A and B are shown apart, each in its own frame.
Chain A
Amino acid sequence: MATTIGSANPVASQASDTELAVFIPEIWSAAVRASFKKSLVMANAGTDFSSLASGSGDTINIPSVADVADAATKAPHVPVNYTNATEDSLALALTSHKYASAMVEDMGVVQSNSDLLSMYSDSIGYKLALGFEVEIEAALALTTECINIAGNTVAKTIDALTLAHISKVVMENDCPLSECTMILNPTLYASLFRIDDFIHISKTGTANVQNGLVGSVMGMDVVLSNNITSTNHNDAVDSADGALTNGNVLGGFVLHNSALAYGFSKAPTVSSEYDIDYIAHKLVGDYIGGAKLVQDASQTKCWGIVEEATTAW
């Protein structure tokens, strides 16, 4: 204890840093996440077939119908020709069962001033969505059709010339640009700002845009994703029919809105249970579903965007 004579001895004062510290409470704010959520965008570009599997079943078969033969000239007195063809189908398997979980002991729940169970429940929901996003990305990466942007002036960018090339390839395959979505990684997306034709969504005044939608170019919606990590298919060819090196990491996708099919037998659900053995709340979220690239050689609907010899962006 310090003593003092007179009024001019600051050492003897009762200060908040030491003497009065016990009276000053510390305040905890609401929790913040350790990492930001990555935007989940890919399912928005696909078609949800969940309603077909609401009763039972683990596979949804999607049939395709080839066009009939070309129009022919009808000659007098000659009967018309009939042709047939065995039609194809693609199967969407709903066999992927994934979960995310957390267990929070009572002491933490009771003594915390935050709603821990809500926070972990939210985190589980997000991780399930992210897990499904990864499945979708892996499905899209199975396309054997790629567009090589290696002709760009600056490496790892999409410039006006590259964009013209992408548009040409899509149009050559009879895909209306207005029905296509371009999903890009941040490097390629950022490079679009150099192009005058890119219309950022903030300039349009559009409200209620879907998650991740950031603009449009050549009539195609452009969305940004941080979840593109797959490499091109080993049998992939570029738009000049040249074989690509295995191991190029994809920079994005161009896909028609019918290119991706997905569905859930069990929609993402979070369940909770109190465990007496651990005196804790258990939270488990899971889903049963699947995603499929609905494409064959008859109709290309999805292209991977690669830059030859790029193994990291």
Chain B
Amino acid sequence: MKDIKVIFRGRKTPSGKRANAEYMIGAKKLEMLKKDGRFEIEVLDKPIAKPKKKKAPKKETSDE
């Protein structure tokens, strides 16, 4: 899902993307582009991960 807003700076941009324009990309793609190491990526907006609900501690059953 493309839910991260980014801007590519610098001369080298990923396929089909222009420099200095906003794009929505997915987390996996962002990870790949960062790993590539040749692109200047500015992350503008990232979805905030929902805090995981803590599970209620299990009640211990008494032996009685």
**A70-B20, A88-B38 known; A241-B25 Cβ under 8 A:** yes
B27 interface residue (CB < 8 Å to A): yes
Contact A299 B1 (CB under 8 A): no
A85 interface residue (CB < 8 Å to B): yes
Contact A299 B15 (CB under 8 A): yes
The residues of B that contact A242 with a CB separation of less than 8 Å are 1, 26, 28
**A235-B32, A298-B38 known; A241-B26 Cβ under 8 A:** yes
B60 interface residue (CB < 8 Å to A): no
Give min CB distance, B8 to chain A, whole Å. 11
The residues of A that contact B2 with a CB separation of less than 8 Å are 240-241
Residues of A in contact with B, size category: 20 to 34
B7 interface residue (CB < 8 Å to A): no
* Complex CA distance for A70 and B13, rounded to whole angstroms: 11
Give min CB distance, B1 to chain A, whole Å. 6
Interface string of B5-21 (1 = CB under 8 A from A): 00000111111101110
The residues of B that contact A296 with a CB separation of less than 8 Å are 36
A243 interface residue (CB < 8 Å to B): yes
Contact A66 B28 (CB under 8 A): no
Interface string of A164-189 (1 = CB under 8 A from B): 00000000111000000000000000
Contact B32 A237 (CB under 8 A): yes
Give min CB distance, A126 to chain B, whole Å. 37
Residues of B in contact with A, size category: 20 to 34
The residues of B that contact A298 with a CB separation of less than 8 Å are 12-15, 38
Which residue of the partner chain, among B16, B26, B29, B30, contacts A172 with CB atoms under 8 Å?
Answer: B16
The residues of B that contact A299 with a CB separation of less than 8 Å are 15
The B contact surface, by secondary structure, is loop
The residues of A that contact B18 with a CB separation of less than 8 Å are 70
The residues of A that contact B14 with a CB separation of less than 8 Å are 297-298
Contact B19 A66 (CB under 8 A): no
Minimal Cβ-Cβ distance residue in A for B2: A241
Contact B16 A297 (CB under 8 A): no
**A242-B1, A243-B28 known; A297-B11 Cβ under 8 A:** no
The residues of A that contact B32 with a CB separation of less than 8 Å are 144, 235, 237, 297
The residues of A that contact B16 with a CB separation of less than 8 Å are 172-174, 300
The residues of B that contact A144 with a CB separation of less than 8 Å are 32
A21 interface residue (CB < 8 Å to B): no
The residues of B that contact A300 with a CB separation of less than 8 Å are 15-16
Minimal Cβ-Cβ distance residue in B for A169: B16
Contact B1 A241 (CB under 8 A): yes
* Complex CA distance for A66 and B26, rounded to whole angstroms: 24
A-B pairs, 4 with minimum CB distance: A241-B26, A241-B29, A300-B15, A173-B16
The interface of chain A, by Cβ under 8 A from chain B, is 66-70, 83, 85, 88, 144-145, 172-174, 235, 237, 240-243, 296-300
A-B contact pairs, 7 of them (CB 8 A): A85-B12, A174-B15, A241-B25, A298-B13, A298-B38, A299-B15, A300-B16
15 additional A-B pairs beyond A173-B16, A297-B39, beta carbons within 8 Å, are A66-B11, A69-B19, A83-B11, A172-B16, A173-B15, A237-B26, A237-B32, A240-B1, A241-B29, A242-B1, A297-B36, A298-B12, A298-B14, A298-B38, A299-B15
